[in-house]
Chains A and B, each alone.
Chain A
């Protein structure tokens, strides 16, 4: 392997980092930056979901509950506790991790299908509560006027108030980096190997000393915590939290991103998040591929069907097969030289 080829993953990460940091500076309008914030949020959301769904093989339909409840926690407790951005985020994260632990212990007792249905039920109940507990959540009237993050700059009297989308964008970047680093660390270590073992054969995993429940919980709790933090960001970004934040449509989006992008693969989930955050906007009226509204859903559905039919292990699987083939053809060439 040449030095360049060995350095390539690093170069890719550096290039990606520069892109993420510099791209929003190219756009002055809020619309484009909105899409970018949205994309970053889906990256965090989908990677957290994929820890369970792609690696351990436990597909929960309930992940939006962590997001919505995390947002409500910040909306309702934030003003009372006066914790600030970091405090709000950490509070939502730890309480949602705790919720994931409790829900996990309850739901992991049952097998795959019952698990999916059970978590689905949990989202529906959470949304019902958000809609009907007027005294607590304001019901469909939403919780409004959530404080925007403020940061006192050390050694000065200046306080920086986060207002512009661009500022929110850079406020979100650390959570994205944290999520990617944690995802990578967990899945490429011994823990990741145990995750795959549990996904492929729980009985066999037990026979080599792995306790499946432990690893299912680990992925679920870490994912739940991160999504809780993301919900807190959302509340402080849009400053309104409505029952629609605990939405099953989020589940659908997660499934599409992860399974079309490539379950259990960092590259696949990143690609899926970008594609399925940007694509719908391009198809919207005024977007680059603008088509009449009646056909938007059709186009979206068509893309999904095509990908599922012709790329059964997602876009990432397709890329992997192509690069494998390329490597093999090079091996043959080298072989003939000798």
Chain B
């Protein structure tokens, strides 16, 4: 069966990822309420909405950390709903966390290497006994890690344990960890939150450059300046529901969005 057929069969019309009628309920609150959305290959889509509108929950459902009650997630024509997080990331969906997670006692370099190694080989037997092959993979991994460290400007800190980094540096490191396997889709949860203006600008430039080079992004962000600058398209959530979708210009003027953000 050709890939074209596969995609057509799943009705995702060539979208890289399609979320269909996704619903996630917690006790007393429907955090994500029947959301449909698509992201096409090469796009940079932003997901915005007031606090508690379900953005992070939607990310968690897509990446397998939460189990949705209804709906499905189709990635590259394959249904990945309810798959394990480790399997989903190996298929090409990387993510960062809103509350920045790195491995504190691993060095900056090891944080990057551990984010790539599972993508390089999945066979434990081989990993244990084919030492020369592993050494070659490890060299490639180090090379790639050093490139990314150069990009985010942490080359000098590569041997430091990650807990010694300041918040902004940890954020850059987590970002680089998401990039190192060269994923098809990157989900960023508030990449510009809590860092200084210089670093916001740096993060913005990285995302734009990578997107220009063909990487697809879905970004949750509160900094409207950043959102308006980088997005091809914006999806707006409120109380778990998708209330608007469109170009930055259209979203800026949308009365429903203004109401959600600024009230009546």
Which residues of A pack against B, CB within 8 Å?
A: 185, 189-191, 193-194, 196-197, 200-201, 203-211, 214, 218
13 chain-A/chain-B pairs, Cβ below 8 angstroms? A189-B128, A190-B113, A190-B134, A193-B113, A196-B106, A200-B104, A204-B101, A206-B89, A208-B118, A209-B90, A209-B118, A209-B119, A210-B118
Is the Cβ of B114 less than 8 Å from the Cβ of A208? yes
Which residues of B pack against A, CB within 8 Å?
A: 63-65, 84-86, 89-90, 94-95, 97, 101-106, 110, 113-115, 117-119, 124, 127-128, 134, 138, 177, 181
Is the Cβ of A207 less than 8 Å from the Cβ of B124? no
Instruction: Sort A-B residue pairs by CB-CB distance and give the 10 closest, nearest first.
Output: A209-B118, A206-B85, A204-B101, A208-B115, A211-B86, A200-B103, A209-B90, A209-B89, A193-B114, A206-B86
Residues of B within 8 A of A200 (CB): 103-106
Is the Cβ of B86 less than 8 Å from the Cβ of A209? yes
Known: A190-B127, A200-B103, A203-B65. A208 touches B138 (CB 8 A): no
Residues of A within 8 A of B118 (CB): 194, 208-210
Tell me which of B85, B90, B127 has the highest count of chain A C-beta atoms within 10 A of its own C-beta. B85
Known: A203-B101, A208-B118. A193 touches B95 (CB 8 A): no
Is the Cβ of A194 less than 8 Å from the Cβ of B114? yes
- Expressed in whole angstroms, the minimum distance between the Cβ of A218 and any Cβ of chain B is 7
Alpha-carbon distance A208/B101, docked complex (angstroms)? 11
- Expressed in whole angstroms, the minimum distance between the Cβ of B81 and any Cβ of chain A is 17
- Majority DSSP secondary structure for residues of B touching A: helix
Closest A residue to B122 by CB, please name it.
A209
Is the Cβ of B106 less than 8 Å from the Cβ of A197? yes
Is the Cβ of A207 less than 8 Å from the Cβ of B95? yes
Alpha-carbon distance A200/B163, docked complex (angstroms)? 11
Alpha-carbon distance A209/B94, docked complex (angstroms)? 9
Is the Cβ of A191 less than 8 Å from the Cβ of B128? yes
| Apart from the given pairs A196-B105, A196-B114, A200-B105, 5 other A-B contacts in the complex at a CB distance below 8 Å | A190-B114, A206-B89, A207-B94, A208-B115, A210-B114
Alpha-carbon distance A204/B189, docked complex (angstroms)? 14
Known: A193-B114, A201-B103. A206 touches B119 (CB 8 A): no
- Expressed in whole angstroms, the minimum distance between the Cβ of A59 and any Cβ of chain B is 17
Known: A190-B127, A200-B103. A211 touches B84 (CB 8 A): yes
Alpha-carbon distance A205/B102, docked complex (angstroms)? 9
- Expressed in whole angstroms, the minimum distance between the Cβ of A281 and any Cβ of chain B is 35
Known: A204-B101, A209-B86, A211-B84. A193 touches B117 (CB 8 A): yes
Is the Cβ of A197 less than 8 Å from the Cβ of B89? no
